[in-house]
Structure 1
Amino acid sequence: MDAIKTALTGAGLAVGDGGAPPAASIPQSGIYAALYFGPGQSVSESLADARTDFALDFQVTYVAPTAEKVLWAVQRGRVALHGPIAVAGRSAWRPEEQGGPPMDRDDDVSPPLFYLPVQYRLQSTA
């Protein structure tokens, strides 16, 4: 999970874990990403049932004041997550984009914000 957050912050995105990052870390542009992780699951690597493989589903919700800025943030995130993810002691595949719902606008906040959740799956082995 730390490796995903590091990749996104390395791409210049303010990142919150389980919601928006602290207000002080959100840039003036109003663009940020919120990470939501599933519990993950151990996966058998062979018929011997050695459970050294691990799969993790996660979602990055990109948030910005305009639809164009959300799409910009999504592209930054895709580039950041396209490269290899470094996890100490493990070999990790590139995160596989699973899609997600379409962009939406939150009119319950003022000013309104646009958001776009993108879901991924990351697999690794020891």
Structure 2
Amino acid sequence: MTAPQLLPHVQALAAAISALPGTPLTVYIGGAPTGPAPLPDTYVVLYPDAGTVVAASLADDRTELAGMVQATCVGSTPEGAIGTADRVAQAWNGATVVAGRACWRPERLGGPPLARDDDLVPAVWYLAVQYGIHSIPA
């Protein structure tokens, strides 16, 4: 049995956000780009941890994946950041679909309070929400 891979899980989470109906929500992984092009008014940056591969039985078959993904929800206003967090929660309200894996619905674990980032021009608001992920072979 092959060890579970983290990347397909992160890609599936990003795809679920991108597939939301209505105004498209831009998703970045590991940080927002810097450069001359302006960022959208609202966007999400996913910060996954490395995850833990857990033995699924006494046979030491390490096929279970457990981890955490932080969705940093950014907006030009406090309401934009909170609304973006609500959209992420909506996107992740079902089980994540990863080929060959049975995935639990991401579990909202909380995170730090809403904050303003004055290091960016113009300043933005962000709400970082952490989610637990878990999957086993299908």
**TM-score in terms of structure 2 length:** 0.83
Structure 1 runs of 4+ off > 4 angstroms? 21-26
What is the one-letter code of the residue matched to 1:16? Y
Corresponding residue number in structure 1 for 2:68: 57
1:30-49 to 2 correspondence within 5 Å?
30-49=41-60
What is the one-letter code of the residue matched to 2:15? T
What is the one-letter code of the residue matched to 1:95? P
1:114-125 to 2 correspondence within 5 Å?
114-125=125-136
Residues 29-61 of structure 1, C-alpha deviation per residue, up to 9 Å, x if partnerless?
x10000111111111112332211111211110
Q: Is the 8 A contact 1:16 1:35 kept in 2?
A: yes
**C-alpha distance in 1, partners of 2:95/2:27?**
19
Q: How far did residue 21 of structure 1 move?
A: 5.1
User: When the two structures are aligned, how many residues end up with a matched partner?
Assistant: 124
| 2:57 match: secondary structure | coil
Q: 2:19 aligns with which of 7, 10, 29?
A: 10
Describe the shift of the 1:25–1:95 C-alpha distance in structure 2 as closer, same or farther (beyond 3 A). Answer: farther
Q: 1:86 aligns with which of 81, 97, 105?
A: 97
**TM-score in terms of structure 1 length:** 0.90
Corresponding residue number in structure 1 for 2:123: 112
Residues 54-82 of structure 1, C-alpha deviation per residue, up to 9 Å, x if partnerless?
11211110001100111110100000011
- Per mean C-alpha deviation after superposition, the further-off stretch among 17-26 and 52-61 is 17-26
Corresponding residue number in structure 1 for 2:112: 101
Corresponding residue number in structure 1 for 2:6: none
What is the one-letter code of the residue matched to 1:69? G
**C-alpha distance in 1, partners of 2:25/2:38?**
10
| 2:133 match: secondary structure | strand
- Per mean C-alpha deviation after superposition, the further-off stretch among 47-56 and 86-95 is 47-56
Q: How far did residue 19 of structure 1 move?
A: 0.8
**C-alpha distance in 1, partners of 2:32/2:71?**
11
Q: How far did residue 25 of structure 1 move?
A: 8.7
Q: Percent identity?
A: 43
| 2:18 match: secondary structure | helix
